[in-house]
Amino acid sequence: MIEIGIVGKPSVGKSTFFSASTLIDVPIDPRPFTTIEPNTGIGFVRVEDIGFELGVRSEPRNGFILGKYRYVSVKMIDVAGLVPGAHQGRGLGNKFLNDLNQAEGLIHIIDLSGSTDEEGRYIGPGKRDPEEDILFLEHELDMWYRDILIRNMERIQREIRSGKERWEALYNVFSSLRLSREDAEEAMRRYDLSSEELPRFLRERSKRIVIAGNKKDVPKAMENYDRLKKKYNIIPVSAEAELALKRAAKSGLIRYVYGESDFEIVGNPNDQQRAALDRLRQTMPTNIQQVIEHLVFNVLGYIAVFPAGSKLVDRQGRVLPDCFLMKAGSRLEDFAAAIHSDLAKYLLYGIDVRTKRKLGKDYILQHRDGIEIVSSAK
Ligand SMILES: Nc1nc2c(ncn2[C@@H]2O[C@H](COP(=O)(O)OP(=O)(O)O)[C@@H](O)[C@H]2O)c(=O)[nH]1
Ligand SMILES: [Mg+2]
């Protein structure tokens, strides 16, 4: 499963974002360092389900259907707040950074309202430039990579002396941080091992970042957004509003299709609840879904593909139970392998469930394909 790290300084709303995206309650507190052990949970990306157009009602094995969407699982990690000097161990920084090893992409939460200082202490809206949040965190991540490179330099040099390619020696150290072979090769084509620019390159390639400007419900936040959006790709979000909407939905007060711009009142809110719901509506869409989806689909380059057995059911009779996230550019063969290694081994061809067209092993998968795999495996 794709792993996504939620990072940022303390008190920007990481745990709120995590709860809102995973529906798990974790301690949310205005004090710094509320979170020490990383919380892990399942978040989701939306894909328009193909069951509707095929005239069937899908029965997801993982995730769920809401509105016209299938919500497909991704793993979310809520990492403790990072403070300046984290890479040197400040505020348990090293431990927290190591929690990110396996993350493929990061959602960097900043306090767009500028209400908190560098350590997460409340100072009031507009008192800090959120750009500083961005710069400091990226710097800490770069320094973390730099330290790992320096610590392993002897090992890398030794491997090169014993005949390994430079990229391979580098890859052996950074693959545990999810650096790909291709990126290790490119790094060594572009930089010397001693280059000051190498750590940043490695970090950018192995930890793609989307910036979520949280607390967009605070008036000052949108002012900051208008200024910063020219320079950074920021998505303004309100984690707190999303959490409130999901709780209202859970209690039966509203029907809310997660990620949409509106909800429907289905329960009997009292006057106070009604006023609160009206306020929430002003903050919609909360953009929590949008941030996760932007990272997974646009930045990390995944597409969603539905395996479909004959008559769209699996052996247990479940309708379209699965939806796989695959890297764009993957072929039918890769898809078969993602389902089961035997399927790839005995793969004959695929069938597009919409057109009934036969697809060869080299067929390049498209987003929202539904494909029946035909193999000679038993
Ligand atoms: N105004 C506003 N406050 C928020 C939002 N999200 C979180 N907060 C508040 O920010 C504070 C810190 O939240 P928390 O999730 O514990 O932050 P963390 O330290 O980054 O994990 C809490 O008081 C939250 O209620 C939001 O969208 N809007
Ligand atoms: Mg927290």
**DSSP strand pairing (39-48 vs 69-78):** antiparallel
Give distance in angstroms: CA of 122 to centre of ligand 1: 11
Q: Are 85 and 93 in contact (CB under 8 A)?
A: yes
- Write the CA distances from 172 to 87, 160, 165, integer angstroms: 21, 11, 11
Give distance in angstroms: CA of 16 to centre of ligand 1: 6
Give distance in angstroms: CA of 78 to centre of ligand 1: 13
- Kindly report the CA angle at 324 between 319 and 330, in degrees rounded to 5? 130
Interatomic CA distance for residues 373 and 306, integer angstroms: 11
Give distance in angstroms: CA of 35 to centre of ligand 2: 4
Question: What's the CATH fold of domain 301-375?
Answer: Ubiquitin-like (UB roll) (3.10.20)
Q: What is the mean pLDDT of the chain?
A: 93
> Looking at residue 80, what is its pLDDT?
84
> Looking at residue 24, what is its pLDDT?
67
- Provide CB contacts within 8 A for 378, sequence distance 6+: none
Long-range contacts of 312-318 (CB under 8 A, 24+ apart): 312/51, 312/54, 312/56, 312/353, 312/370, 318/59, 318/61
Name the residue at shortest CA distance from atom 10 of ligand 1.
13
> Looking at residue 249, what is its pLDDT?
94
**pLDDT tens digits, one per residue of 28-52:** 665 555 556 788 899 999 999 999 9
Q: What does DSSP assign to residue 298?
A: I
> Looking at residue 39, what is its pLDDT?
84
Interatomic CA distance for residues 7 and 187, integer angstroms: 25
Identify the helix (H) or strand (E) that includes residue 209. strand 208-214
Interatomic CA distance for residues 109 and 366, integer angstroms: 31
**What is this structure's pTM?**
0.94
**pLDDT tens digits, one per residue of 281-322:** 999 999 999 999 999 999 999 999 999 987 888 888 899 999
Name the residue at shortest CA distance from atom 3 of ligand 1.
215
> Looking at residue 27, what is its pLDDT?
64
Q: What does DSSP assign to residue 376?
A: S
Name the residue at shortest CA distance from atom 11 of ligand 1.
30
Query: Which tokens is 370 given?
Result: 């539904």
- Write the CA distances from 98 to 102, 138, 148, integer angstroms: 9, 15, 11
> Looking at residue 2, what is its pLDDT?
95
Q: Are 286 and 239 in contact (CB under 8 A)?
A: yes
> Looking at residue 85, what is its pLDDT?
83
